[in-house]
């Protein structure tokens, strides 16, 4: 099991206990909607150097967390294979599919497909929003059906478990591209100069992705810790993170050069707030199509109906 696979369940257990033993807890940004009932809006004002889309992902003026790092979904490619075959950077899923076919036909020693080590539901929202051009939480739409068909075609529901597995997949030519996180992409590029990080393929040239950087939150009722929390988003600590290879939350510290393109061409959004059980319904729909016999359209239509039924809608 991936070490973080059940972390959201553990976070919910910790926060719902009401214990004030912890002054603050560091969580990934996409967990904020799950923990919202036990969090209090912070009274501190986030610095202007924090990107507006990150602030929005944390609740805007009613921020629930202090951002520590930047992280979100990106695409890592084998730069040498793309350059050697004069392939343009993938601007959409169709061009990415076409590139895989070209590499496979021209480089018979490779098995070039596409791999992923992002959680499949995170990948689904990232690709769907980038294709749609808006962060729409409606589950059953044509763009989302198209994206789920793409995920099933390339078996992207079977996520790679470790950074080593991701690196091996690219180095041995089994895949020409990898959907991964920005932070892991930087780690991979530092180990192999043939790799390059790009923003996710999108219809408009601007990818839309879940903000999933590390955040600092506090339990509801623990009001004495906010002055101390503010220092984690100030320049000294953010520079400390940057010096150790993390992508800082402050835009005045732009982070490693390898990730600049993705940072500039990605707009960040909070994870969908689907209320209790909603995430499980979405994941179930995805798995019905990727690991079960159901067609993507049928799986998403049924998932959308389950979401409506839970909310008492027809």
* 183 close to 89: Cβ distance less than 8 angstroms: no
Taking each helix axis from N to C end, the angle separating 296-310 and 142-153, rounded to the nearest 10 degrees, works out to 130
The pTM for the full model equals 0.90
Q: Are 23 and 225 in contact (CB under 8 A)?
A: yes
Residues of the chain with pLDDT under 50: 1-5
Q: What was the pLDDT predicted at 225?
A: 61
* Residue ranges per structural domain of the chain: 7-71+211-260, 75-207
pLDDT at residue 44, as a whole number: 83
Instruction: Supply the pLDDT for residue 107.
Output: 75
| Chain center to CA of 35 | 18
CA gap 222, 218 in Å, rounded = 7
Sequence-separated (6 or more) residues with CB below 8 Å from residue 256? 186, 245, 247
Q: What does the pLDDT read at residue 36?
A: 83
7-71+211-260 matches 75-207 in fold: yes
Q: Which CATH superfamily is domain 75-207 in?
A: Periplasmic binding protein-like II (3.40.190.10)
Which residues contact residue 80 at a Cβ distance below 8 angstroms, ignoring those fewer than 6 apart? 194
- Does the domain spanning 7-71+211-260 belong to CATH 3.40.190.10? yes
Write the pLDDT tens digit of every residue in 137-158.
Answer: 999 999 999 999 999 999 998 8
């Amino acid at each position: 099991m991936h070490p973080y696979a059940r972390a959201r369940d553990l976070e919910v257990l910790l926060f719902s206990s009401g214990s004030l033993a912890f002054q603050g807890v560091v969580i990934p940004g996409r967990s904020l909607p799950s923990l919202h009932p036990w969090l209090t809006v912070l009274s501190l004002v986030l610095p202007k150097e924090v990107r507006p889309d990150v602030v929005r992902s944390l609740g805007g003026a009613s921020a629930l967390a202090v951002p520590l790092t930047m992280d979100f979904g990106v695409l890592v490619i084998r730069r040498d294979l793309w350059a050697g075959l004069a392939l343009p950077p993938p601007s959409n899923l169709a061009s990415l599919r076409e590139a895989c076919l070209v590499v496979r036909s021209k480089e018979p020693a490779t098995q070039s497909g596409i791999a992923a080590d992002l959680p499949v539901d995170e990948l689904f929202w990232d690709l769907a929003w980038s294709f749609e051009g808006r962060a729409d939480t409606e589950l059953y739409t044509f763009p989302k059906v198209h994206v789920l068909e793409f995920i099933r075609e390339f078996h992207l529901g079977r996520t790679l478990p470790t950074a080593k597995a991701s690196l091996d997949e690219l180095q041995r030519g089994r895949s020409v591209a990898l959907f991964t996180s920005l932070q892991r992409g930087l780690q991979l590029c530092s180990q192999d100069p043939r790799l390059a990080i790009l923003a996710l393929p999108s219809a408009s040239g601007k990818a839309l992705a879940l903000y999933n950087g590390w955040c600092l939150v506090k339990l509801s009722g623990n009001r004495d810790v906010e002055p101390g929390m503010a220092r984690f988003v100030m320049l000294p600590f953010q520079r400390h993170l940057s010096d150790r290879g993390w992508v800082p939350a402050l835009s005045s510290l732009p982070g490693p050069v390898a990730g600049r393109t993705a940072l500039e061409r990605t707009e960040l959004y909070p994870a969908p707030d689907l209320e209790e059980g909603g995430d499980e319904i979405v994941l179930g729909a995805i798995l019905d199509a990727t690991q079960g016999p159901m067609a993507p359209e049928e799986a998403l239509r049924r998932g959308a109906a389950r979401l409506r039924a839970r909310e008492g809608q027809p």
